[in-house]
Amino acid sequence: MSSPYAMPPQRDSWFAPLSIDLLVKVLKTSFFHPFIAWIIPLCFRAQNMFWDAPPMLVSIAWASMITLSWIFITINNRIAYGLPREVDLSDEVIVITGGASGLGLLIAEVYGMRGATVAVLDVKEMENGEARGVTYYKCDVSDKAQVAKVAKDIERDLGTPTILVNNAAIVLGKRLLDLSLDEIDRSLTTNLLSHFYTIKTFLPLMASSETGGTIVTISSVIGTVAAAQLSDYAAAKAGVSALHRSLTAELAQSHPNMRTVLVTPGQLSTPLFYGVQTPNSFFAPVVEPVDVAKEVIAAIDGGLSTQIGMPLYARWIDWYNVLPVGLQKIARRLAQVDTSMKTFEGRNRGAAGGDEKKGQ
């Protein structure tokens, strides 16, 4: 996918390709996988080792613990999220806000190539023109009237929407005292209120489907930890996560065939946060949009309700608020949370057409 933006620069290090996420992924598919774990006692048995030999007992105990853990995780997810809904891409109409570039465009292109019907809503033209299977609608999702109009156009042109991906976002990157009231209104309307507008508009249509639908909410870890120069963005993302949880609870009672997916990524390698550098690429690697897209697509394809956090620390970020306040401050200093935005450039860098920073 061509883009007018270069890759956001990051600090160089000898271990740059290596991260804790990569190590965990390797362990999950090897040492911590039930199939691999049970191969070990089988190999011992193939060497004629007695069942009561210490290595055999240890390996069986390890394999049993890993298997029980996987079973527990499966049962936990089933209790938490229920049964998956049936998904047939030939019948799905997918609406993606902020899908003209970045993460939204990746998801749109994948589904377009796989035969699904995709509608992209954005204020700017798609970076690669009209992708196959993707229909572009010029729409500012912060304008409720435009959202209502484009919903009618989509239903007329493509059919009843069944999947909504709320991905549109803007980043201003200014201190609160430097933000004008108009900029605050624009940021909160685009990053938070637009979710209310799209859900209120498309949910009644989606709920009418016999197989239900899926709502994907793209939030951010910034909604939990916040950061200097991101007061408007952090407030909006915290609200988006709260909206998702309330909506999920309501739909479980009123529309049990609806599924919801919450995505809370760390820093994405997109122009949205161009210039921001992570202090440590091992513990806090920059996330590639294609990796997030894979997880989102897998959840949609499986008809699942779930929560997706990337990289690894994003899945445990809620525990940050459990720490004593003093330790929180130390953690913030080590992670350089409140100084990383000083190098922020956003979409301004080398981009033609002004200061609009929209889309993940």
Instruction: Point out the residues that are catalytic.
Output: 233, 237
**Whole-angstrom distance, CA of residue 355 vs CA of residue 322:** 38
**Whole-angstrom distance, CA of residue 300 vs CA of residue 235:** 27
**Whole-angstrom distance, CA of residue 141 vs CA of residue 167:** 10
Kindly give the interhelix angle for 102-113 and 289-301, rounded to the nearest 10 degrees: 50
Residues 6+ apart with CB under 8 A from 261: 214, 215, 216, 217, 296, 299, 300, 304, 305, 306, 307, 308
Under DSSP, the state recorded for 281 is T
Comparing CA positions, the residue from 299, 184, 293, 167 lying closest to residue 230 is 184
Comparing CA positions, the residue from 152, 130, 158, 128 lying closest to residue 139 is 152
The residues with which 358 forms a beta bridge, in sequence order, are 170
**Whole-angstrom distance, CA of residue 163 vs CA of residue 105:** 15
What's the one-letter identity of residue 200?
K
